[in-house]
Structure 1
Amino acid sequence: MDRLREMEVFVAIVDGGSFTSASDKLGMSAPAVSRALTSLEARLGAQLLARTTRSVRPTEAGMSYLDACRKVLDAVTDAEADVAACQDNPVGTLTISAPVLFGQRFIAPLIDAYAQRYPDVSINAVYVDRTTRLLEEGVDVAIRIGHLGDSSIYAIPLGFVRRRTYVAPAYLAAHGEPVHPRELADHHCVSLTGVTNPLEWTFYENGSRLSVRVQPRMIVNLAPAAVMAAVDRVGITQLFSYQAAPEVLNGTLLPVLTAFEPESTPVNLLHVERRGASGKIRAFVEFVTETLRRNVHLQQHMETAMAVNETSGSLRSVK
Structure 2
Amino acid sequence: MDKLRSMEVMVAVVEAGSFAAAADQLEISGVMVGKHIRQLEEHLGARLLARSTRRQSLTEVGSAFYEDCRRVLEQVRWAESAVERSRAAPQGLLRISAPVTLGNQVIAPLVAQFLQQHTQVRVDLQLTDGVADLTGEGVDAAIRIGRVVDESLVARPLRPYCMVIAAAPAYLRTHGKPRRPADLAQHVCLSHSVWQRRVEWTLDDGGEGVQWPANARLVCNHGDGLRHAALAGLGLVMQPEVLLAEDLAEGRLLPLLQDCLPPPRPVHLVYASDRRPLPKLARFVEHVVQALGAPPMPPAAAARPLRRHLRVGTGRGSLRPKV
Superposition TM-score tier, normalisation by shorter sequence? 0.5 to 0.7
Match of 1:85 in 2: 86
User: TM-score with structure 2 length normalisation?
Assistant: 0.61
Superposition pairs of residues 89-168 of structure 1, within 5 angstroms: 89-168=89-168
For 1:168, the aligned partner's letter is: A
The verdict on how the C-alpha distance between 1:199 and 1:150 changes in structure 2, with shifts beyond 3 A counting, is closer
In structure 2, the partner of 1:305 is: 297
Change (3 A) 1:80 1:101: closer
> Superposition pairs for residues 143-292 of structure 1, below 5 Å?
143-194=143-194, 201-207=201-207, 209-273=209-273, 277-292=277-292
> What does 1:45-56 correspond to in 2, within 5 Å?
none
Could you tell me which amino acid in structure 1 is paired with residue 115 of structure 2?
A
Q: Which amino acid aligns with 2:177?
A: E
Alpha-carbon distance between aligned partners in 2 of 1:80 and 1:231, rounded to the nearest angstrom: 49
Structure with larger Rg = 1
Secondary structure at the residue paired with 2:273? coil
Partner amino acid, structure 1, of 2:86: A
Structure 1: gaps (5+ residues): 1-77, 294-301, 309-319
Letter in structure 2 aligned against 1:115: L
Looking at structure 1, the residues matched to 160 and 222 of structure 2 have their Cα atoms a distance apart, in angstroms, of 20
Counterpart code for 1:169: P
- Using a 3 Å threshold, how does the CA distance of structure 1 residues 126 and 80 change in structure 2: closer, same or farther? closer
Secondary structure, in 3 states, of the residue corresponding to 1:266? Answer: strand
Q: Name the residue aligned to 1:69.
A: none
Counterpart of 2:136 in 1: which secondary structure? helix
Displacement of 1:121 in angstroms is 2.1
From the superposition, tell whether residues 200 and 170 of structure 1 become closer, same or farther in structure 2 (CA, over 3 Å): farther
Cα distance change, pair 165–242 in 1 and its aligned pair in 2 (3 A): same
Q: Is contact 1:203–1:211 with CA below 8 Å preserved after alignment? A: yes
Q: Decide whether the 8 Å contact of 1:204 with 1:210 is kept in 2.
A: yes
Deviations 1:242-274 (A, max 9, x none): 110011011111111112111111121111236
Query: How does the TM-score come out when normalised to structure 1?
Result: 0.61
Q: What SS does the aligned partner of 1:237 have? A: strand
Query: What is the DSSP-based 3-state SS (H/G/I as helix, E as strand, rest coil) of the residue aligned with 1:134?
Result: coil
- What's the CA shift string for 1:184-233, capped at 9, x where partnerless? 11111110234676997520234553335442011111111010011111
> How far 1:183 moved relative to its partner?
1.4
Q: How far did 1:110 drift? A: 2.1
Q: What one-letter code is carried by the residue in structure 2 that aligns with 1:117?
A: Q
Instruction: Name the residue aligned to 1:40.
Output: none
- Alpha-carbon spacing, 1:133–1:81, altered in 2? closer, same or farther (3 Å): closer
Gaps of 5+ in 2: 1-78, 301-323
Cα gap change, 1:212/1:96 in structure 2, threshold over 3 Å: closer, same or farther? closer
Which amino acid is 2:229 matched to? A
SS at 1:131 equivalent: coil
Question: For the Cα contact (< 8 Å) 2:166–2:238, is it kept in 1?
Answer: yes
Distance 2:169 2:90 in 1: 50
1:79 Cα deviation after fit: 9.5
Tell me the residue number matched to 2:24: none
Identity %: 32
User: Cα deviations across residues 17-53 of structure 1 (Å, max 9, x unaligned)?
Assistant: xxxxxxxxxxxxxxxxxxxxxxxxxxxxxxxxxxxxx
CA contact (8 A) 1:129 1:194 kept: no
